[in-house]
Structure 1
Amino acid sequence: MTPEEAVTTRASRRSPRPRADAARNRDRIVAAARDVFVEHGTEAPLDEIAKRAGIGNATLYRHFADRRSLLRAVVLLIMCRVADHAERAAAETVDSLTALRRFVHDAVDERVGAVCGLLIDGGGQDSAEVAVQCRRVEATCETLMDRARHAGQIRADIGLRDLVISMSQLARPLPGIEYRDADAHRHLDLLLDGLRVPAPAACGAPGGAEERSVTYTEHAA
């Protein structure tokens, strides 16, 4: 072993890689923080997040020195998962509207509607990692919509901004109104039916239109 290799070996022994349990704790903290921030806002007590993650406050602060760094990690988690869903939908062999529909439902399940509020509260506007994931989502979503437009399945005047704003609004119910996940998915189906060419006449009927290519029940299955 050369002197240089010996120095590298000693350094690696002094700086071991994070243990598997530490990585799991971090993942649990971020997942718990996502749910708590969505339910109670970004000013929710950090000890509530630690409690939900099943760890102590000291463990939380070892991973995240302040609220801002935790917010950034939550935004990054949501955007990574939404980007993955978009790319999986784009890779499917189903028709274009079905792929777009599946992506939209999956994105709402990931609480994508919370991202706007988290970004405003300092959760990643200055993060290069978050910016990369946002570009992944935008590019793949544009691809899904372009395919559906070219196939004559959605209106030509519908753009990415229309879809993103609608998804965010549907995934962030008004305070004080009882709103179940099933409500969000039903309203997404109504929205997507309204994008179709031509829009189904029954899209506003209770229970949804029978001609939808994919219902939330099928999506969840």
Structure 2
Amino acid sequence: MGAVKSAAAGSAGGASGDRECARRAPRPRADALRNRERIVAAAREMFVEHGPDVPLDEIARRAGVGNATLYRHFPDRAVLIRDVVVAVLDRVSRQAEAAMAEEADPFAAVRRFVHTAAEERIGALCPMLSGAFDTAHPDLDDGRERLEGAVQSLVERAQSAGRMRGDVAVGDLMVALSQLARPLPGTVCPNMDRFVHRHLQLFVDGLEAPARSELPGVPATLGDLRSTS
């Protein structure tokens, strides 16, 4: 009996000690968090402009930090690319969720999402996702699942209301959005960005019900997109 009490006391003491250690564990300083956010934001901008192979010292310079600060947060390029992808997935997911919560018209929510997501240049994720890093990382899995769920809800809500044509799927939406919003680093047509929202609106008009034509082929599902990545 005494042994049981002693073990229980030891277990309780260990749990208490773990909680105490957690309380004493140093939290990232506010300035360190700000630096990390600035690096991710600068990296996203430069990946969009120049592709994922842009020199890291150029990213540090745009972020306003030293090279040592960048490498302290991101020991290699793969870690930085992953964090940029996760950040973009999070931002686009929040935009989809906000559009669905704030727009009474389900199709207006789809339209709003398409235009706001284009500002994130999610098409720039495609070449980055082919890089040499862990594409099965839990943060990436969580980000993808959240975005897919949010966009699926947008589409299903608009289709159930009869506001969006029923022969398209979420994959169709994401493919078109990625292609139309994809930047063209080094392109000989430097002013193409100013046409993005115009062409997106042409695409969105084609999604609205009633359909004005019959689409060739079959709808692109999210499973189709994953199988080709």
- The gaps in structure 2 that reach 5 residues or longer are 1-12, 213-229
What secondary structure, in the 3-state scheme, does the structure 1 residue paired with 2:44 have? helix
Say if 2:182 is the partner of 1:190. Answer: no
**Bigger relative contact order, structure 1 or 2 (CA pairs below 8 A, ≥6 apart):** 2
Q: Deviations over 1:147-193 (max 9, x none)?
A: 21122222111111111010001111443222454411111111000
What secondary structure, in the 3-state scheme, does the structure 2 residue paired with 1:84 have? helix
Bigger Cα displacement from structure 2, 119-128 vs 132-141: 119-128
- The gaps in structure 1 that reach 5 residues or longer are 201-221
Say if 2:32 is the partner of 1:22. Answer: yes
What secondary structure, in the 3-state scheme, does the structure 1 residue paired with 2:149 have? helix
Misfit runs of 4+, over 4 Å: 3-13
77, 87, 106: which is aligned to 1:77?
Answer: 87
Match of 2:154 in 1: 144
Match of 1:108 in 2: 118
What's the C-alpha RMSD, in Å, of the aligned pairs? Answer: 2.4
* Cα distance change, pair 74–81 in 1 and its aligned pair in 2 (3 A): same
Match of 1:203 in 2: none
Q: Letter of the aligned partner of 1:110 in structure 2?
A: E
> What TM-score does the superposition give when structure 2 sets the normalisation length?
0.79
- Aligned-residue sequence identity (percent) comes to 50
CA contact (8 A) 2:49 2:183 kept: no
Structure ID, larger Rg: 2
Say if 2:78 is the partner of 1:68. Answer: yes
* Cα distance change, pair 156–44 in 1 and its aligned pair in 2 (3 A): same
Matches within 5 A, 1:80-95: 80-95=90-105
Measured in 1, the distance between the counterparts of 2:21 and 2:201 equals 59
Deviation at 1:87, TM superposition (A): 0.9
Between Structure 1 and Structure 2, how many residues are aligned?
Answer: 198
